Amino acid sequence: MYEVEVKVPAELDRVRARLEDAPLEVTSQGAVVQTDTYYDAPHRSFPETDEALRIRSEHHQSGPVEPSEAAESDADPHAHDDTAHETRVTYKGPLVDEESKTREEVETTVGDAETFDAVLTNLGFEAAATVRKERERYTVAPADGAADEFEFTVTLDAVDDVGEYIEVETELADERALESARSGAYNVLRALELDPDDQIRTSYLGLLLES
């Protein structure tokens, strides 16, 4: 499976407003708080090989979040009404092109973050850093009559100690569709009045370590 992803810095309030007016079909997926713990391997350096291994703990906020509601909310961003919790382990391979953040990705759900951390620790892996972010997700498809055939997830991220960003992504099984999917992601950014040339290929982990 390949994850095609384009990320740009953005003011989230402006993007929320644009989601309501853009020529796109937009459906809210709700909001979550994610805590990602990244690991170093005992047998090779992931920063050198451009790989990543993480445990993600995700708390889901109850109910969908509409763009207008998110923009107007003045609630404590750390005070979420969590209705579900999920833990996933993800391996990300090296970037496969020079124009986006497309990678091979392997992911599975696990029952408990602390238990799997113990498994990795006993195998010689070491926790390197933790990234916490608040995310709002929207499913986005081109409006009727558009040529793009892909459905994308648009994610509005507020990342602790890093800043505000937008990610546009989709998943593919066929590597031959990568270029077409990347072009579709650029079109979504333009519909949101964002510039694909502003994209950042550095991960949130990398941005955090650079800050």
CATH 2.60.40.10 fits 2-210, yes or no: no
Query: According to the model, what pLDDT value does residue 82 have?
Result: 45
Query: According to the model, what pLDDT value does residue 62 have?
Result: 57
Token pair for 186? 């650029």
CA neighbours closer than 13 Å in the CB half-sphere of residue 137: 15
pLDDT < 50 regions, the chain: 64, 71, 73-82
Query: Which residue, among 53, 73, 10, 60, has the nearest Cα to 34 in the 3D structure?
Result: 60
- What are residue 174's phi and psi, to 5 degrees? -110, 115
Query: According to the model, what pLDDT value does residue 66 have?
Result: 55
Measured in whole angstroms, how far is the alpha carbon of residue 89 from the centre of its chain?
14
pTM (two decimals) = 0.80
Instruction: Name the residue with tokens 């407003």.
Output: 17
Please tell me the distance from the alpha carbon of residue 51 to that of residue 44, in angstroms, as a whole number.
10
Query: Which residue, among 100, 68, 82, 58, has the nearest Cα to 201 in the 3D structure?
Result: 100
Query: According to the model, what pLDDT value does residue 83 have?
Result: 57
